[in-house]
Amino acid sequence: MNFVEPIRDKEKLEALKGLLKKQSARNGFLLTFGINTGLRISDILPLKVADVKNKTHLVITEKKTGKPKRFKINQTLREAIQSYITGLDDDDFLFASEKRPKPITRVRAYQILNGSARKIGLSEIGTHSLRKSFGYHFYQRTRDIATLQLIFNHSHPAITLKYIGITQDLIDQAVDDFSL
């Protein structure tokens, strides 16, 4: 499994949103959904319209941990959901495959995200970059590592900082500022 990074640059993030939206509404919505929830791709892909329609919170059982999770859907995402699901049935998958009556696979989600990211000069991007980007920008805006740690269900703040790339940013900055 490759190590992936968050998308730190907001301009690159917007460029990626635009590129994915041009490809399809589904691809653009995948990015929007992932970066606004911080959920793992394994918890995002099986979602159906009924799971998010007219909801203020997303309630799931995390696939990796088996633990229940209740997550507030922010206003930006609620508006995106409303726009995206217009014309869809409650039983439709949010991220439906065009080839079969199931959601896209993790591999396909990776191909969509990584391929588009490369086109705009981003590397080390994968499906987990969505979750990491949520965490990175949440931390940059709030500096609230304790809440982010709870959102991600991490056991220690240091794990969360490393996970979202802040530890690497600090190391890189320290090396940049150091010379003999």
| Positions marked catalytic | 40, 64, 128, 131, 154, 163
Please tell me the number of Cα atoms within 13 Å of 81 on its side-chain side: 25
C-alpha pair distances (Å), 161 with each of 7, 119, 126, 137, 144: 15, 28, 19, 12, 11
**Residues 37-73: b if buried by 16+ CB within 10 A, e if exposed:** bbbbbebbbebbbeebeeeeebebeeeeeeeebeeeb
What burial class does residue 31 get, using C-beta atoms within 10 Å of its C-beta: 0-12 exposed, 13-18 middle, 19+ buried? buried
Distance between CA atoms of residues 54 and 76, nearest Å: 13
